[in-house]
Amino acid sequence: MHRTERRSISAADLNYAAEFRRRVDELKASVLMSGVVGRATALKRSGREYKGLCPFHGENSPSFFVNDAKGFGHCFGCGWHGDQIKFVMEREGCGFREAYQRLANDDLPTWSPAERQKAAAEDRLDDLEKEEWARKFFKASAPVAETPGRIYLRARGVTIEPPPFVRFGMVPSWRDKETGEWGRNRPALVCGAQDGTGAVVGIQRIFFKNDDPALGKKDCKLSLGSIRGSALRLGEAEPVIIMAEGPEDGLSIMQEGPGHPVWVPFGTSMMPSVQLPPIVRKVIIAEQNNTAGRIAAAKAAIALSDLGLEVASARPGDQFDDWNDQLRAVTA
């Protein structure tokens, strides 16, 4: 039998790869993400971050955030998330090495290791403080029971008893970035975002339109704390879980009695980042019935498969845009 000789990887190849990796890390640590993004879209300072119009999807109000300390950009509109190299690859349509080369050759703003270290420490402190505030607001809120939270949910056709991590509270919607003071308290549903161990590390506040829980959709949702990687768990972890886009969708699906616990990662694009306990083997993505929703779900399915999970998807009836629409049509 004939065997073809495979070219073995030499020590020189390995050295070259390690050296390239080191240079990439060095470049990512020294070149400011805001400098890279700033060439494609105008950025404005927003607290410790920058924000601007997303270069990856058309929009009129800025939802693209850049954090230099973390070295990434994130779009709350289309879910784009990545570092300097990914940004250049996708903006300029080139490969990894080419993107690295372009960044290395260009004259971009940089910072020293000391500056970066300090910014990273400040950023970490900032994150920990936000988590602490989120926990405080979550603890200060109460079970939905007969609060205005109940009226809000009933107005959306949700009649089941909300699980413990959906609460009602009087919480502020904004904080003065200069003085650190919080605005006045307003009624809201307070949803706990839980990390891999189930601990609350963030919240999503759903404020009612004009503070009236009976009013229709388009209520303001604001996050606080560590949302990426967390999920609102509407049920305990099981081998098969359902992931839904938002709390209303999640509660609507739960009410239909799907036979699996529903988790809400606060956005389809964040589904693959959720810290899953090892017991979870399969994720059913509850899609929304529009093009953007389907694209986001398809991307999430690929990323979840890459993590070794079995993935399936479910969609509301053709005539409904999302699961809450479907529920309300059913219960109307």
What is the binding site for Zn ion (CB under 5 A)? 54, 56-57, 75, 77-78, 80
CB of 54 to Zn ion, least distance (A): 3
Taking the least distance from each CB to Zn ion, the nearer of 57 and 86 is 57
CB of 300 to Zn ion, least distance (A): 15
Taking the least distance from each CB to Zn ion, the nearer of 41 and 324 is 41
What are the backbone dihedrals phi and psi of residue 73, each rounded to the nearest 5 degrees, phi first? -115, 150
Q: How far apart are CA 163 and CA 161, in angstroms?
A: 6
CB of 173 to Zn ion, least distance (A): 23
CB of 41 to Zn ion, least distance (A): 10
Residue whose structure tokens are 């290791």: 113
CB 273 within 8 A of CB 74: no
The DSSP-derived string for 128-167 is: HHHHHHHHHHHHHSEE-TTSHHHHHHHHTT--SPPPTTEE
Q: How far apart are CA 195 and CA 275, in angstroms?
A: 6
Taking the least distance from each CB to Zn ion, the nearer of 54 and 251 is 54
CB of 43 to Zn ion, least distance (A): 14
Q: How far apart are CA 320 and CA 310, in angstroms?
A: 26
Nearest to 55 by CA among 31, 75, 76: 75
Taking the least distance from each CB to Zn ion, the nearer of 80 and 133 is 80
Taking the least distance from each CB to Zn ion, the nearer of 57 and 294 is 57
CB of 38 to Zn ion, least distance (A): 16
Taking the least distance from each CB to Zn ion, the nearer of 58 and 278 is 58
CB 191 within 8 A of CB 232: yes
| Distances, alpha carbon 28 to alpha carbons 67, 68, 113, in Å | 13, 10, 11
Taking the least distance from each CB to Zn ion, the nearer of 243 and 296 is 296
CB of 49 to Zn ion, least distance (A): 15
Query: CA geometry: angle at 278 spanning 274 and 283, to 5°?
Result: 55
CB 77 within 8 A of CB 84: no
List strands edge to edge, sheet with 282-286.
232-233, 262-264, 240-244, 282-286, 310-314
